[in-house]
Amino acid sequence: MRVLFVVSSWAGHYFPMVPLGWALRAAGHEVRVLCTDSDVDRLSAAGLTPVPLLDTLDLLLFTRSFNVGSFYLGSWPYPEPPPHPDTGEPLDKDTFDFQQWWETTSARSRERLHRSIGSAQDYARSWRPDLVIHDLVAYEGPLAAEAAGVPAILHLWGPTGPDDGLDPLGADGSSERLNSATAAWTLGEMVGHDLAERVYGRIDHIIDPCPDPIAPALRGTRLPMRYVPYNGPGAVPLELPGRSGRPRVCVVWGRGGTHNFGQVSNRLPQVVEAATALDAEVLVLAVRADLEACGPLPGTVHPLVEMPLHLVLPDCDAVVHYGGAGVAMTSVAAGIPQLTLSLARNTALFTDRFTDIGCGLTVPSYDAGNSAITGALRRLLGEPSFRTAARELAATAAGMPSPAAVAGSLEEIAAGTAPAEPAAATR
């Protein structure tokens, strides 16, 4: 069987797909991944075969543009303007013409996306896969499947489904949206509603790595699959300090946070101060610029560089992050309570599910002062119920079908013999 993966240009979107790619390869199937040039090295390092033909949406630009729109609408919750969508520098609201920028950028983005869709369709017709598997914003995937006349399988990256919304507006929890010009970032406005219907209308099967307590509501046949953490290549961290008897907190502040929201959203200094005040040992995975904002670090704080998270978390008592799905799902697999300092509305949408079942807490980043962070972290470390709930969720996740089992289900789908309902969980 030939399986074509189609991915958007964001590692956190396709890293959760890597274990399924391994399972399909191990079962003897041929797997290729349609991607952009910038994703070739990461996919190659993961042991998959990239096909760099896409020129898909710039997701960094996508997020920054929504943040700028939120700023002009008055719903931006931070005291400083968001980054300029092109440069990442602080926005000068007196000189930036958002409407003109948007008209130029949206036209260029539409052309780019249409070109990328055409390339994906041409490749699918030529290579003739039996299945196409794509992430939530790899819009080329369903249309490549349509061109090849084969099933399209949506692969979720975490507790976010097609109906949850992806834009980061309304960080205060409101449902406010931008005017019609900025709303053109939605797929229907960008490429036409007929094309949008073809994209989402072809999704009949959805691979969902979420255990039931945190799973999003889905339409179509759900294929539950155990989340096997892949956070990039790397060796076992033999240099990690031994446990000192203190509680150990892992703090993850990825590249996307300040790149999208600016340094005003960086809460690393407050988190480090809070954990230190609670006499915790702190492992920090963060970009250098964000870490430098903390100033001199005490001896109980250990910066880690480019280290796969799944090799670090199992020996921690709690994790603090800003809402990345990869961190959240790796924490689920490790059975670790998590504190989310959410940057965006759609982040809180899924992290609140962890709060609801008692294995996590969420504090909006713009409200995350020292006292709020210290109080939440004190609860995670001091109340056993959080650890118990996290371990129960991990046990539920471990009982989901493995990627190898799902690879077998995909064979049935490709052959047209799939059962109406997903198979029972298999270890």
Q: Calculate the alpha carbon distances from 405 to 155, 223, 224, 412 in Å.
A: 15, 10, 10, 11
Stronger pLDDT, 291 or 337, i.e. the higher one: 337
Can you give the pLDDT at residue 189? 53
Judged against a pLDDT cut of 70, whether residue 419 lies above it is answered with: no
**Residue that the structure tokens 């061109």 belong to:** 147
Quick one: tokens of 152? 């399209």
Whether 12 and 157 share a structural domain = yes
**Residue that the structure tokens 């991607």 belong to:** 35
The 10s digit of each residue's pLDDT in 217-244 is 888 899 999 999 999 999 988 878 778 8
Can you give the pLDDT at residue 153? 96
Judged against a pLDDT cut of 70, whether residue 427 lies above it is answered with: no
CATH number for the domain spanning 323: value is 3.40.50.2000
Whether 183 and 68 share a structural domain = yes
Question: Span 159-184, mean pLDDT?
Answer: 49
Judged against a pLDDT cut of 80, whether residue 422 lies above it is answered with: no
Whether 52 and 184 share a structural domain = yes
Report how many domains make up the chain: 2
Can you give the pLDDT at residue 57? 74
The 10s digit of each residue's pLDDT in 306-325 is 789 999 999 999 999 998 88
Can you give the pLDDT at residue 106? 79
> Is residue 194 one of the residues assigned to a domain?
yes
> Is residue 239 one of the residues assigned to a domain?
no
> Is residue 378 one of the residues assigned to a domain?
yes
CA dihedral 307, 310, 315, 321 (to 10 degrees): 80
Which residues face 362 on adjacent strands? 340
Whether 6 and 154 share a structural domain = yes
Can you give the pLDDT at residue 248? 96
The 10s digit of each residue's pLDDT in 246-289 is 999 999 998 778 888 888 888 999 999 999 999 999 999 998 88
Query: How many residues would you count in the chain?
Result: 427
In sequence order, what E strands does 142-231 have? 152-155, 203-208, 221-224
Average pLDDT score over the chain: 86
Can you give the pLDDT at residue 418? 56
Whether 89 and 206 share a structural domain = yes
> Is residue 423 one of the residues assigned to a domain?
no
> Is residue 236 one of the residues assigned to a domain?
no
Judged against a pLDDT cut of 90, whether residue 37 lies above it is answered with: yes
Q: What are phi and psi of 50, to 5 degrees?
A: -80, 150
Other Cβ atoms closer than 10 A to 222: 20
Considering only 48-62, 115-129, 328-342, which range has the smallest mean pLDDT? 48-62
Can you give the pLDDT at residue 109? 82
The residue type at 383: E
Can you give the pLDDT at residue 162? 78
In a 13 Å sphere around the CA of 158, the CA atoms on its Cβ side amount to 25
Question: Which of 69-83, 152-166, 347-361, 379-393: highest mean pLDDT?
Answer: 379-393
Judged against a pLDDT cut of 50, whether residue 47 lies above it is answered with: yes
Whether 34 and 106 share a structural domain = yes
Question: Which of 57-61, 198-202, 362-366: highest mean pLDDT?
Answer: 362-366
Whether 371 and 405 share a structural domain = no
Whether 325 and 340 share a structural domain = yes
For the chain, give percent helix, strand, coil, nearest 5: 45, 15, 40
Quick one: tokens of 144? 């490549």
Considering only 110-124, 165-179, 224-238, 413-427, which range has the smallest mean pLDDT? 165-179
> Is residue 358 one of the residues assigned to a domain?
yes
Which residues face 339 on adjacent strands? 320, 361
Can you give the pLDDT at residue 137? 87
Question: Span 380-404, mean pLDDT?
Answer: 98
Question: Span 17-32, mean pLDDT?
Answer: 98
Can you give the pLDDT at residue 171? 37
Whether 63 and 211 share a structural domain = yes
Can you give the pLDDT at residue 360? 96
Whether 405 and 324 share a structural domain = no
Can you give the pLDDT at residue 237? 85
Q: CA-to-CA distance for 366 and 173, rounded, in angstroms?
A: 12
Share of the chain above pLDDT 90, in %: 55
Give residue 292's pLDDT band: very low, low, confident or very high (50, 70, 90): confident
Those residues with Cβ within 8 angstroms of residue 267's Cβ, 6 or more apart along the chain or in another chain: 253, 322, 341, 365, 368, 373
Whether 391 and 407 share a structural domain = no
Stronger pLDDT, 216 or 417, i.e. the higher one: 216
CB 230 within 8 A of CB 15: yes
> Is residue 162 one of the residues assigned to a domain?
yes
Beta strand 338-340 with 2-6: parallel, antiparallel or unpaired? unpaired
Residue 137 is part of which domain span? 2-226+400-415
Can you give the pLDDT at residue 417? 67
> Is residue 300 one of the residues assigned to a domain?
yes
Can you give the pLDDT at residue 21? 98
CB 211 within 8 A of CB 412: no
Whether 202 and 261 share a structural domain = no
Give residue 36's pLDDT band: very low, low, confident or very high (50, 70, 90): very high
